[in-house]
Structure 1
């Protein structure tokens, strides 16, 4: 089990660090702990999937993870998802295919203006896919 420290943000409570732990086997179990919201746990077929479920729980209380997995413009490839424990994610740019140089660690810190909700991230991913139709 690995333990990571990641910042979280809430308009009312400000920015604080929380602890994220996850298992190394399927189903992936991820827990996030903070004195401000307690401990939340979710499982998923991949680290990305389990973290998305946790983010949905956090969003209900106004919390956002301040790391790359929560960036609006970040999304893993299908291969990354299939690798379950892959800690990498692409930073996507509309109109441009994802490149190796666009890969970052999912737990790398992100600025508040870069992160969004799970829905915003999904919408950006759909927009990015559509934008590739115009790439020659």
Structure 2
């Protein structure tokens, strides 16, 4: 079980602010509470990544986004990393290194942060049968394919 608190950067269309995320992950489920300019928002889920997604959906409704690795378009939590870390680490898709994992609450470039539905759509494109020599090429092709679908 992981219990802790993370200080993160949150942003809206007009401002950026520090926020706190208190979390309890493991056992029979997970809970996260984000405190920031919006007040206090709480979400529950099965594991860390699921709970962060639920929290992000609530914050999106309020016009806020979290600048954390778990909100990047090019990451997702699946497979053994999900099981071994209880969803507290995510896989960076397109990373050809031996250790393509980053912590859920690690600071992310706001340009990489997407809304929850967009992150899901990109994940689907990434695994839609694209053939490439490297994971980086696969990720780039998935991004182009996703962008073309939005045009």
In structure 2, what is the equivalent of residue 65 of structure 1?
66
Map Cα deviations across residues 11-68 of structure 1 (whole Å, 9 max, x no partner): 12x111111111143211111111x111111111111001100100111121111010
Whole-angstrom distance in 2 between the partners of 1:39 and 1:81: 27
- 1:102 Cα deviation after fit: 1.5
Pair 1:84–1:27, CA change in 2 (3 A): farther
Whole-angstrom distance in 2 between the partners of 1:4 and 1:113: 21
- 1:84 Cα deviation after fit: 6.2
In structure 1, what is the equivalent of residue 34 of structure 2?
32
In structure 1, what is the equivalent of residue 13 of structure 2?
11
Q: Are residues 1:55 and 2:56 paired?
A: yes
RMSD value, Cα: 1.9
Count of aligned pairs between the two proteins: 130
Whole-angstrom distance in 2 between the partners of 1:90 and 1:84: 11
Gaps of 5+ in 1: none
Secondary structure class of the residue paired with 1:51: helix
Secondary structure class of the residue paired with 1:101: coil
Secondary structure class of the residue paired with 1:50: helix
- 1:101 Cα deviation after fit: 2.5
Gaps of 5+ in 2: 134-151
Q: Are residues 1:79 and 2:80 paired?
A: yes
Pair 1:48–1:77, CA change in 2 (3 A): same
Bigger Rg, which one = 2
Whole-angstrom distance in 1 between the partners of 2:72 and 2:43: 20
- 1:135 Cα deviation after fit: 4.0
Whole-angstrom distance in 2 between the partners of 1:49 and 1:99: 25
- 1:85 Cα deviation after fit: 3.1
